[in-house]
Amino acid sequence: MSGLSAVDVIRAKRDGGRLTDEQIDWVVDAYTRDVVADEQMSALAMAIFLNGMTAAETARWTRAMVESGERLSWPTGRPTVDKHSTGGVGDKITLPLAPLVAACGAAVPQLSGRGLGHTGGTLDKLESIPGWRARLSTEEIGAQLTSVGAVVCAPTEGLAPADRKLYALRDVTATVECVPLIASSIMSKKIAEGAGGLVLDVKVGSGAFMPDLAAARELASALVEIGVDHGLRISALLTDMSTPLGRAVGNAVEVAEAVEVLRGGGPADVVELTLALAREMLALAGIDADPAEVLASGRAYDTWRAMITAQGGDPDAELPSPAHVETVTADRDGVVAALDARAVGVAAWRLGAGRARKEDPVQAAAGVVCRAKPGERVRAGEPVLELRTDTPDAVPAALDVLADAIVVADEAPPTTPLVIETIRP
């Protein structure tokens, strides 16, 4: 691909042009090899942010990022299927979902990430379990998929290195919220991961990266289109993220709530979304099983225990508890009419459950527990939120962001569906 230069590629997109396949392949490969500098890729990312990319450009960009590293495969004898969430508040769904779908007969290679900002990370949650480790070799992942059926772990080092490098750059150049770049980032990792089917949980609402339904639908459609282009069986659910999922927001508290679900209890919304995604995953995998029956039987809980044990964790260990707990109470009698997901997520982050930078540590015990949720009646002075932290000095900042998060009214709010719509090829 001689004769190409970063300046020419930047100029083409800056002026609103369509990048050729050759330009895309070259610039992604050259950036991965440090031939294209960070400042040049920053300029190109901003040009893409401002001028967009066609579906064909996005698909090619995704393909180039996949080919920057290894592409995994899992000859387990089971159909492989995965789920990806665009991130939300209290979104612990992967924790009960992976073992449930595995207990139904699929292999679930769930390569997950860490939290950043107000949305939690699956690996941070699981690391609150004593002994559990996120980093596995490709051989260990394959062995666990064969023996247990489910793995939740960090991506291997060789998986889509172009995306890992570009994601860090986008995070510090205000180019994260760009549909082509989001779509190619998500799908490059998922395609390289090697699952045959993929269900996307695209969040919509105040606690999501896509608060607007039209924008979320655009992202979901772009993701599905890329998946089809790469031969994946794929579908996307648009789900509500205006209120936190379940009652627990944080790390250890979300693990505890996920275990409740696996043992036959837990909040109704967490159970509903877990089952909805499980049914969609099983349909893509071609497995005729009733996930509700499998969940009730206890087989999914057994798979959870095996999954945690296989990664060095103790499923019976006591989870970390916070040094300080403070409650936020209702200011009047009535019904909780709103509980803003983003505010609760930011509060949990400020209490220590999340991070502002990728290298920041998180507190396993920090978070927020929702003692009352929309539609539930409260009396003045009763707890609505429970703030948990090991650093009491963090409480005032969390209270600041929660100042307008809770609305108590005379009547219950209208009910809205948790699953808004499903997008299939």
pLDDT in the model for residue 171 = 76
377 versus 357: which is more confidently predicted? 377
- 81-317: CATH topology is Pyrimidine Nucleoside Phosphorylase; Chain A, domain 2 (3.40.1030)
For 185-238, give the secondary structure using H, E and C: HHHHHHHHHCCCEEEEEEEECCCCCCCCHHHHHHHHHHHHHHHHHCCCEEEEEE
Residue 138 has pLDDT above 80, yes or no: yes
| Rounded Cα gap, residues 315 and 126, in angstroms | 11
Cβ neighbours for 62, distance < 8 A, ≥ 6 positions apart:
183, 184, 187, 188, 191, 226, 229, 230
Q: Does the active-site annotation cover 190?
A: no
| Rounded Cα gap, residues 202 and 85, in angstroms | 6
Annotated active-site residue in 184, 185, 188, 235:
185
Q: Which residue has the tokens 């609402």?
A: 205
pLDDT tens for 82-132 read 999 998 999 999 999 999 999 999 999 999 887 766 777 899 999 999 999
Architecture of domain 6-52: Up-down Bundle (1.20)
pLDDT tens for 171-205 read 788 888 888 999 999 999 999 998 999 999 999 99
Residue type, 412: A
Q: Does the active-site annotation cover 170?
A: yes
Q: Does the active-site annotation cover 163?
A: yes
pLDDT in the model for residue 117 = 66
Check: CB of residue 411 under 8 Å from CB of residue 335: yes
Q: Which residue has the tokens 């508890």?
A: 321
Q: Does the active-site annotation cover 185?
A: yes
Secondary structure (3-state) at 408: strand
Q: Does the active-site annotation cover 92?
A: no
Secondary structure (3-state) at 84: strand
Q: Which of 109-118, 211-220, 377-386, 400-409 has the lowest mean pLDDT?
A: 109-118
**Band of residue 357 on the pLDDT scale cut at 50, 70, 90:** low
Annotated active-site residue in 63, 83, 164, 189:
189
pLDDT in the model for residue 358 = 64
b/e per residue 196-228 (b: at least 16 CB within 10 A): bbbbbbbbbbbbbbbbeeebbbebbbbbbbbbe
pLDDT in the model for residue 202 = 96
Annotated active-site residue in 25, 163, 201, 240:
163
Residues forming beta bridges with residue 389, ordered by sequence position:
324
Q: Which of 40-44, 106-110, 165-169, 236-240 has the lowest mean pLDDT?
A: 165-169
Give the global pTM: 0.92
| Rounded Cα gap, residues 246 and 424, in angstroms | 27
Annotated active-site residue in 13, 84, 114, 342:
84
| CA 316 from centre of chain | 26
What mean pLDDT, rounded, does the chain reach? 94
CATH of domain 324-409: 3.90.1170.30
Side-chain half-sphere exposure of 5, counting CA atoms within 13 A: 4
What percent of the chain is predicted at pLDDT more than 90?
Answer: 84
pLDDT in the model for residue 307 = 98
| Rounded Cα gap, residues 78 and 3, in angstroms | 47
Q: Where are the beta strands (DSSP E) in 116-183?
A: 150-153
pLDDT tens for 256-293 read 999 999 999 999 999 999 999 999 999 999 999 999 99
pLDDT tens for 27-80 read 999 999 999 999 999 999 999 999 999 999 999 999 999 999 999 989 888 999
Residue 341 token pair: 């997901």
Residue 362 has pLDDT above 80, yes or no: yes
The residue count of the chain comes to 425
Residue 1 has pLDDT above 60, yes or no: no
Stretch 371-379: mean pLDDT, rounded?
96
Cβ neighbours for 149, distance < 8 A, ≥ 6 positions apart:
76, 78, 99, 102, 103, 105, 106, 107, 108, 303
Domain residues of the chain, as ranges?
Answer: 6-52, 81-317, 324-409
Annotated active-site residue in 13, 114, 165, 170:
170
